[in-house]
Amino acid sequence: MPEYACARLASVPNESGPNHSGTASSDHPYADRFPVNRRLPEQGRPRAEVLAELEQIATEEDRAWEGGKVSGTMYCGDHDHYAYLTEAFGRFAHVNALQRDICPSMTRFEGEIIAMTLDLMHGEAVTGTEPGGLVTTGGSGSILHAVLAYREQAYAAGNRSPNLVKPETAHVAFDKACHLLGVELRVVPVDPATTLVTAAAMADAIDEHTIALVGSAGNYPYGTIDPIASLGELALERGIGLHVDGCLGGFVLPFGEELGYDVPEFDFRVPGVTTISADTHKYGYALKGTSVLLFRDQALRAGQYFHQVSWSGGKYMSPSIEGSRSGGLLAATWASMVHLGRDGYRRYAADIFSTAEAMMKVVRAQEDLRIMGSPTFCFSFASDELDIYHVADHMRPKGWRFNGQQYPDAIHMAVTRPQTQPGVVEAFEADLVEAIAYARERSAAGVAAESGAIYGGVPGGLAGLTDDVTDFIEQIMDSMLDAQMSLPPQ
Ligand SMILES: *Cc1c(COP(=O)(O)O)cnc(C)c1O
């Protein structure tokens, strides 16, 4: 692979900020401090010793986000809540949710998670069909299952070359699902000022093979909400599905609406909405590894089913893509929801919405910056005057970890509970003002920035990548996985 990429990968900046004393960004994290396991140890180590090692590592890594400078990812950020979820998880972690005969609790937990999420998404507004749902492993899992459901429905109707229409801003998980499931994806550009798609533009992309439209509430790049009501009308008019991606917003926007923020209806109150994804492992404040997919009509859900009754291992049937599933994750998700209740979610949402407003006010006060569209709890900002990645570069050593975006270059902040701590907005303002001065200087001098448009903060320094260099990107991924497998020299 080109030397450039190796050098860049080896020097991936420590995204975790200055408090981080570990070696997480090196190719051999922690090798200098803890035993390296080159083979399965013949004699195991005492539990207390292993747990102490884990405790030390986790405590150090937690410092990277505890100060409230990391976008997204740690949605709750409350160690008491995490301990509570871990206790719930621990009671059922060894249970396989596939085997309901010995763990009827899973039927209860999953059923109630779905019922509570349906309640939040106004399932009571559904008439004429019976709504249903599915707990999946995450947002991408919910989207994959939804696309599978629409594809199976299309196949059953004789449509063997189905396509899905999404606004450009809808999550890349739709691209992945279409890739995996052999569905054509049609991408519709958004209005650069509002960042939103129009129903008219979506209508132009529809043909007789279109199985569903996608709208986001809100979308990942800008936190803006697509015009779901008009997309719903369009879907009904054309007799196709409409998936609302509420992976990010599903557990926070409904409370924003209750609190009086400007949140348009995006759920089952909109007649054309046929499926909704909402991530419990984001603003549902559950453990990582769960999301909910809801169906207006259980008939569509049947597309998930797989059965093979002539296998020597026995008649097999699974209601979704996964086989064995952790009972612990269902128990912890359920525990998060019943502990917080509407009141808890609303209180957290109030803090998140007001913090996001305060942070956006700081951004709006900077003449060189502009906010993309009209966001709510998660926002993105760009600049026509300077290279915005210099801003990210300058703020990173202070502990800030944003996500980089492109077309236009922008930086993204999903406001979560850690940002609602006292002092975070003030620190954001002080560091941002300084960063703008730095960025102005660097941009004027024509110096290239380090940060780039990489989702989720994985390797920096790769800003110039395009799909024209697929081989090159594959080499980078090879080298990422090779690094994961490699051990430090003896
Ligand atoms: C995070 C996210 C997803 C994908 O979810 P994963 O849990 O990362 O698989 C999909 N859509 C939106 C809007 C998201 O923010």
> pLDDT at position 125, please?
98
- Tell me if 289 CB under 6 Å of ligand 1: no
Task: Tell me the CA–centroid distance for residue 140 and ligand 1, in Å.
Answer: 6
Task: Tell me the CA–centroid distance for residue 445 and ligand 1, in Å.
Answer: 37
- Tell me if 139 CB under 6 Å of ligand 1: yes
Rounded to an integer, the average pLDDT of 371-398 is 95
- Tell me if 420 CB under 6 Å of ligand 1: no
Mutate to test the pocket of ligand 1, among 145, 279, 280, 329 (most ligand atoms within 8 A of CB): 279
Angstrom distance (rounded) from CA 207 to CA 480: 40
- Tell me if 245 CB under 6 Å of ligand 1: yes
- Tell me if 215 CB under 6 Å of ligand 1: no
Q: In the structure, how many helices (H) and strands (E) does the chain have?
A: 14, 13
Task: Tell me the CA–centroid distance for residue 247 and ligand 1, in Å.
Answer: 5
Cβ 333 vs Cβ 135: under 8 Å: yes
> pLDDT at position 390, please?
95
> pLDDT at position 104, please?
94
Rounded to an integer, the average pLDDT of 265-271 is 98
- Tell me if 216 CB under 6 Å of ligand 1: yes
Q: Which ligand 1 atom is at minimum distance from the Cα of 138?
A: 7
Cβ 188 vs Cβ 202: under 8 Å: yes
Of 111-115, 206-210, 239-243, 321-325, the least confident: 321-325
- Tell me if 138 CB under 6 Å of ligand 1: yes
Banded pLDDT at 464 (limits 50, 70, 90):
low
> pLDDT at position 15, please?
37
Rounded to an integer, the average pLDDT of 439-464 is 75
210 has pLDDT over 80: yes
- Tell me if 247 CB under 6 Å of ligand 1: yes
Residue scoring higher pLDDT (321 or 480): 321
Q: Which residues of 179-196 are buried (b: 16+ CB within 10 A; e: fewer)?
A: eeeebebbbbebeeeebb
Share of the chain above pLDDT 90, in %: 81
Q: What predicted TM-score, i.e. pTM, was given to this entire model? A: 0.91
- Tell me if 140 CB under 6 Å of ligand 1: yes
Cβ 131 vs Cβ 295: under 8 Å: yes
Rounded to an integer, the average pLDDT of 297-325 is 92
467 has pLDDT over 90: no
Structure tokens at 486: 């490699």
4 has pLDDT over 70: no
> pLDDT at position 6, please?
32
> pLDDT at position 65, please?
94
| Helix spans in 314-387 (H) | 327-364
Cβ 305 vs Cβ 317: under 8 Å: yes
- Tell me if 144 CB under 6 Å of ligand 1: no
Q: To the nearest whole number, what is the mean pLDDT of the chain?
A: 91
14 has pLDDT over 60: no
Mutate to test the pocket of ligand 1, among 75, 228, 247 (most ligand atoms within 8 A of CB): 247
What lies within 8 Å, CB to CB, of 186 at 6+ separation is 163, 164, 165, 166, 205, 210
Mutate to test the pocket of ligand 1, among 147, 168, 171 (most ligand atoms within 8 A of CB): 171
Rounded to an integer, the average pLDDT of 194-200 is 97
Kindly report the number of other CB atoms within 10 A of residue 397's CB atom.
12
Banded pLDDT at 99 (limits 50, 70, 90):
confident
Write out pLDDT tens, residues 76-93: 999 999 999 999 999 999
> pLDDT at position 243, please?
98
Write out pLDDT tens, residues 216-230: 999 999 999 999 999
Of 66-80, 366-380, 457-471, the least confident: 457-471
Given phi > 0 = left and psi -120 to 50 = alpha, else beta, which region is 417? alpha
> pLDDT at position 5, please?
33
Task: Tell me the CA–centroid distance for residue 460 and ligand 1, in Å.
Answer: 21
| Helix spans in 370-457 (H) | 388-395, 424-444
Task: Tell me the CA–centroid distance for residue 384 and ligand 1, in Å.
Answer: 28
Assign 188 to helix, strand or coil: strand
460 has pLDDT over 80: no
Residue scoring higher pLDDT (116 or 478): 116
Q: Which ligand 1 atom is at minimum distance from the Cα of 246?
A: 13
Rounded to an integer, the average pLDDT of 255-270 is 97
Write out pLDDT tens, residues 136-146: 999 999 999 99
Tell me the domains of the chain and their CATH numbers: 92-337 (3.40.640.10)
Of 101-110, 317-326, 395-404, 449-458, the least confident: 449-458
| DSSP symbols for 246-305 | ETTTTTTHHHHHHTT------STTSTT--EEEE-TTTTT---SS-EEEEESSHHHHGGG-
Share of the chain above pLDDT 70, in %: 92
Structure tokens at 102: 């010995």
> pLDDT at position 2, please?
33
What lies within 8 Å, CB to CB, of 454 at 6+ separation is 403, 404, 460, 462, 463
> pLDDT at position 218, please?
95
Task: Tell me the CA–centroid distance for residue 86 and ligand 1, in Å.
Answer: 23
- Tell me if 173 CB under 6 Å of ligand 1: yes
> pLDDT at position 451, please?
79
Residue positions counted in the chain: 490
Rounded to an integer, the average pLDDT of 110-135 is 97
- Tell me if 253 CB under 6 Å of ligand 1: no
Of 24-28, 51-55, 87-91, 466-470, the least confident: 24-28
Q: Which ligand 1 atom is at minimum distance from the Cα of 140?
A: 9
Task: Tell me the CA–centroid distance for residue 195 and ligand 1, in Å.
Answer: 18
Q: Which ligand 1 atom is at minimum distance from the Cα of 279?
A: 7
376 has pLDDT over 70: yes
Cβ 137 vs Cβ 290: under 8 Å: yes
Kindly report the number of other CB atoms within 10 A of residue 77's CB atom.
20
- Tell me if 393 CB under 6 Å of ligand 1: no
> pLDDT at position 158, please?
98
> pLDDT at position 13, please?
34
Residue scoring higher pLDDT (20 or 347): 347
Task: Tell me the CA–centroid distance for residue 279 and ligand 1, in Å.
Answer: 8
Closest protein CA for atom 10 of ligand 1:
139
Q: CB-based burial of residue 472 (10 Å sphere; 0-12 exposed, 13-18 middle, 19+ buried)? A: middle
Q: Which residue has the tokens 């779901």?
A: 228
Q: List the one residue out of 358, 428, 361 whose CA is nearest residue 395.
A: 428
Q: Which residue has the tokens 């200087």?
A: 441
Given phi > 0 = left and psi -120 to 50 = alpha, else beta, which region is 122? left
Angstrom distance (rounded) from CA 448 to CA 389: 9
Banded pLDDT at 26 (limits 50, 70, 90):
low
Please, which residues bridge with residue 412 across strands? 380, 403
> pLDDT at position 477, please?
80
